[in-house]
Amino acid sequence: MHQASGRWKLGLTLALVTAACWATLPVALKLTLQQLDPYTLTWFRFLLAAGVMLAWLAARDGLGGFASLDGRRWGLLLAAALCLIGNYVFYLLGVQWTSPANAQLLIQLAPLLMALGGIFVFRERFNGWQWAGLAILFGGLALFFREQLGVGGRGYAFGSGLVVFAAVVWAAYALLQKQLLLRLSSPAILLAIYLCASVVLLPLARPAALLQLDGLHWGLLMFCAVNTLVAYGAFAEALAHWEASRVSAILATTPLLCVAAVAGVHTLWPASIAPERIGWLGYAGAALVVLGSALTSLMGSKR
């Protein structure tokens, strides 16, 4: 089983970078979907990421690790790729039916499932404070969901189901990637996944639609694509240096950052995106998410 390097400060920093990227991504995706369909958007993100990663690894002679993979590892790599493709597609479909902050909070089921997987699969350990933090996280999510289900309609429930499924397959991807780190570097794993996704999604994409985008939406599309490289690169490296359960706790703060991002964009460009409808119950739930995240990630650190 893969063991973290123990450089928890570096892992914490990388996890925070990942959270910041994922907090701003739903806003950019929501705006890009005004002119582009979900499949073409996702295909382009993977294609650009694959090209950049391939050039980076080739320049550093980082492609040799694939020759040492046996059939079982290739199977794990393919499974990880399919899981990440499913996460991208179903999350983006869900964003169409919900607001960015709602979708981002729902997707927090993914790091929670990853945390439980880290405990049961990789034998990571939680102390009493961390279990309490995990319970508070679930309680905060429940409060937020209760309020949002009240203000949302049938479309919100449908979109929520899509995002929940995206969370399940993402947790499976994360655990598979952590095991693959035994044989491959994190950039090599991501390259294989990006290439596989570019091929799988090509029949569903409409590349000609890219020519119809205006300058603003081209900029948003490029931001989404670069966000893919930075976020998943930082996430993969965070798993190499810190336990999966600790990384997942930091990622649980992403919805709060997303709410701030939506508020900022709405303040600057009111017509571009609607403000989030969050009452006192929702904010209470969000505060509990932060508290639970802090307990889960920090109470396990050695003095």
State the average pLDDT over residues 188-198.
87
Separation of alpha carbons 48 and 42, rounded Å: 10
- Mean pLDDT for the stretch of residues 165-173: 90
| Overall pTM > 0.85 | no
Give the model's pLDDT for residue 221: 92
DSSP per-residue letters across 105-167: HHTTHHHHHHHHHHHHTS-----HHHHHHHHHHHHHHHHHHHHHHHH--HHHHHHHHHHHHHH
The arithmetic mean of pLDDT across residues 96-121, rounded, is 76
- Identify the CA nearest to 149 among candidates 278, 48, 302, 293: 278
**Tens-place pLDDT, residues 67-77:** 777 778 888 88
| pLDDT of 292 strictly over 70 | yes
pLDDT above 70 as % of the chain: 89
Domain spans in the chain, listed from the N-terminal domain onward: 8-298
Q: What is the average per-residue pLDDT within 218-234? A: 87
Question: Per-residue pLDDT averaged across 227-236, rounded?
Answer: 82
Q: What pLDDT, on a 0 to 100 scale, did the predictor assign at position 206?
A: 92
Q: What torsion, rounded to 10 degrees, do the Cα atoms 81, 251, 135, 145 define?
A: -80
| Nearest Cα residue to 136 out of 49, 241, 24, 128 | 128
Residues 6+ apart with CB under 8 A from 71: none
Q: Scanning the structure block, which residue is given the tokens 């493709």?
A: 85
Give the confidence band of 297 by pLDDT, cuts at 50, 70, 90: low
Cα–Cα distance for residue pair 262/255, rounded to 1 Å? 10
In one letter, which amino acid is 5? S
Higher pLDDT, 298 or 91: 91
DSSP H stretches of helix in the chain: 8-32, 38-59, 71-97, 100-106, 109-120, 128-151, 154-180, 186-201, 215-241, 244-251, 254-268, 280-298
Residues 6+ apart with CB under 8 A from 232: 18, 49, 190
Closest to 43 (Cα-Cα) out of 184, 167, 178, 207: 207
From the list 265, 252, 234, 255, the residue with the least C-alpha distance to 32 is: 265
Distance CA 2, CA 183 (A): 10
pLDDT value at 303 more than 60: no
The pair of structure tokens assigned to 175 is 């655990």
Mean pLDDT of all residues in 206-226: 90
Give the mean pLDDT of 84-111: 82
Least confident residue range of 68-77, 110-119, 180-189: 110-119
- State the average pLDDT over residues 157-185: 84
- Length of the chain equals 303
pLDDT of 4 reads: 60
